[in-house]
Chains A and B, each alone.
Chain A
Amino acid sequence: MKTLVWVEHDNASVKDATLHTVTAAAKLGEVHLLVAGSGCRAAAEAAAKIAGVAKVHVADNAAYEHALAENVAPLIVELMGHHDAFLAPATTTGKNVAPRVAALLDVMQLSDILSVEGEKTFTRPIYAGNAIATVESSDAKLVITVRGTAFEKAAAEGGSAAIEDVAGAGDAGLSSFVGAELAKSERPELTSAKVIVSGGRALKDSETFEQYIMPLADKLGAAVGASRAAVDAGYVPNDYQVGQTGKIVAPEVYIAVGISGAIQHLAGMKDSKTIIAINKDEDAPIFQVADVGLVADLFSAVPELTGKL
């Protein structure tokens, strides 16, 4: 089987999400990559070094700069003329683009796969991860999004794939990019961090969140996450949300502070290696999944903890 993997990149380097997806693709067959962007040669060269990759297709065109689904989906469909499976990481970009490709190919997408069980058989979470379905596709071609935390990263170095330019039709004339407000942070990225400190509704407001959660995260070199309640209330931006409908994380250590442990939150973090919870309610559901629990008021416990580290 020949697979085509969507490369998530910033025109210069390749994002980790791609490396997890390459591992999933390699279980199906030969791995080809697609780098679509504008001035993305450096990203294509970085992609060609990923271990196990046979070929890198590069589509360098202003119309692909922001990965607008209307523009990149036809390009992928064209390449799928000679590939059997399209795989994208289950990032917001992958989730935006892949179903558009699937519908154009008239196939049912397999969302957020956790494992490759056979040529056409995969497992995937349903009902906020409270059930795992094993599904078999009957379609001629496969379109898949991959849950990063379920697959190891492929080695970023060691490969020497051929780079081939592809043209593509460019701008479909349906949509345009207006602008972005992207968070800049010195902290590690949520989805690749070793340690995460997450705060919930109990943090009261954005100042309190900043005052209590950030120093602890800094001491631990941790990324910062949040529950939906904390994001909805404006304590932190939307990209901090961990959960069923936010980011899926699986760090070595996840510290939940003032988070109750609703199933939608657990869906995003229960594959963390060690879960630590600080909550003043000893019956909070988060304690049912926590390896280490501290029943305490966070407003005294967190500063004390930060001070003692």
Chain B
Amino acid sequence: MKILVPVKRVIDYNVKPRVKADGTGVDLANVKMSMNPFDEIAVEEAIRIKEAGKAEEIVAVSVGPAKAQDTLRTALAMGADRAILIETDAEVEPLAVAKILKAIVAEENPGLVILGKQAIDDDSNQTGQMLAALLGRPQGTFASKVEIDGDHVAVTREVDGGLETVKLSLPAIVTTDLRLNEPRYASLPNIMKAKKKQLDVKTAADYGVDIAPRLKTLKVSEPPVRVAGVKVADVDALVAKLKELGVA
């Protein structure tokens, strides 16, 4: 079985995003960029499945600028075998990413596609579900456990009330949640090796996919700011505050 892992290059999760003064977006100039954390979890899961002898090849895919090659190299250094960059400087919406992935699935025929549940920049939480819909395949979203058993996969999902397990027929789409695994760090030798692994660069047009956006961003603004309040001296003062608020 082959596993496809889509990885997105996003602002590093440790960076506090700043809205541009002209209200057109978030300032990404000279900001540290990294692989979307949920996608690291997806890469890790694919590697573990391969290590367990249940997959032969892991292909990482990214839709993004030339710099997204760095993100793909990270995936290769972790243990992916091969990578594909769909290069574009445009911001590609989840629906269009899903259409590109669908075309890649048609070529690569993976048994599993493992995506992150959410990209921490657009916070859309859509791409995996959309890909599953376009392919007419089952989806195991927000996974905290993935168990392959013959031609099925059991996915334990993090849901609002706790956990839920579903059984999907393969091929299937899985999206990762935080508790699925702890991604490994790439070792220095593996980072060196990754430089020699195959990385193909293509465009959306190669797959005949129209990436024109459906949503127009009219404005990006700062959320209402909260100002720090008071510090109280001791527990008695805190009790008084809670009484004032009517909760105690």
Interface SS majority for chain A: mixed
Whether A126 contacts B122 in the complex (CB less than 8 A), given A95-B141, A287-B228, A291-B229, comes out as: yes
Bound Cα distance A101, B160 (Å):
20
**Does B11 have its Cβ within 8 Å of any Cβ on chain A?**
yes
Cβ-defined contact, A132 with B228, below 8 A: no
CB contacts (< 8 Å) of B216 on chain A: these are 135-138
A111 engages B123 (CB within 8 Å):
yes
Stretch at the interface among B44-52, B78-86, B105-113, B237-245: B237-245
Which residues of the partner chain A approach B205 to less than 8 Å between Cβ atoms?
none
A107 to B99: give the CA distance in the assembly, Å.
Answer: 12
Q: Are the CB atoms of B230 and A292 closer together than 8 Å? A: yes
A275 to chain B: which residues have CB within 8 Å?
A: 226, 229
Whether, in the assembled complex, B208 has its beta carbon less than 8 Å from a beta carbon of chain A, the answer is: no
User: CB distance A175 to B138 under 8 Å?
Assistant: yes
Look across to chain B and name the residue whose beta carbon is closest to the beta carbon of A73: B133
Chain A nearest CB, measured from B97 CB (Å) = 11
A167 near B: Cβ within 8 Å? no
| Chain B residue at minimal CB-CB distance from A95 | B125
| C-alpha spacing A131/B168, complex, angstroms | 37
Report whether B95 and A182 are in contact in the complex, using a CB–CB cutoff of 8 Å: no
Nearest CB of B to A50, in Å: 20
Cα-based distance from A91 to B142 in the complex (angstroms): 12
Contact A289-B228, Cβ < 8 Å, known A130-B223, A135-B217 = yes
B33 proximal to A (CB < 8 A): no
Determine the distance from Cα of A281 to Cα of B62 in the docked complex, in whole angstroms.
40
Query: Which of A110, A220, A309 has the most C-beta atoms of chain B within 10 angstroms of its own C-beta?
Result: A309
Within 8 A of B (CB), among A124-182: 125-139, 173-182
Inter-chain contacts of A178 with B (CB < 8 A)? 154, 165-167
- Given the interface pairs A180-B163, A308-B239, the reply to whether A127 lies near B219 with Cβ below 8 Å is no
B201 interface contact, C-beta 8 A: no
The 10 closest A-B pairs by CB, nearest first: A291-B229, A99-B129, A103-B130, A103-B133, A108-B214, A99-B126, A174-B138, A127-B17, A178-B165, A175-B138
Residues of A within 8 A of B (CB): 66, 68-70, 73, 91-93, 95-104, 106-112, 121, 125-139, 173-183, 191, 194-195, 219-220, 228, 231-232, 237-239, 244-245, 247, 252-253, 263-264, 270, 274-276, 278, 282, 287-296, 301, 304-305, 308-309
Chain B residues at the A interface, C-beta cutoff of 8 Å: 11, 13, 16-19, 25-26, 38, 93-95, 98, 117-118, 120-134, 136-142, 144, 154, 157-169, 177-179, 213-223, 226, 228-232, 234-239, 241-242, 245, 247-248
**A–B pairs, 17, beta carbons within 8 Å:** A92-B158, A93-B160, A106-B95, A108-B214, A130-B19, A130-B223, A174-B137, A175-B138, A177-B167, A178-B166, A181-B163, A182-B163, A237-B163, A238-B162, A245-B38, A275-B229, A296-B235
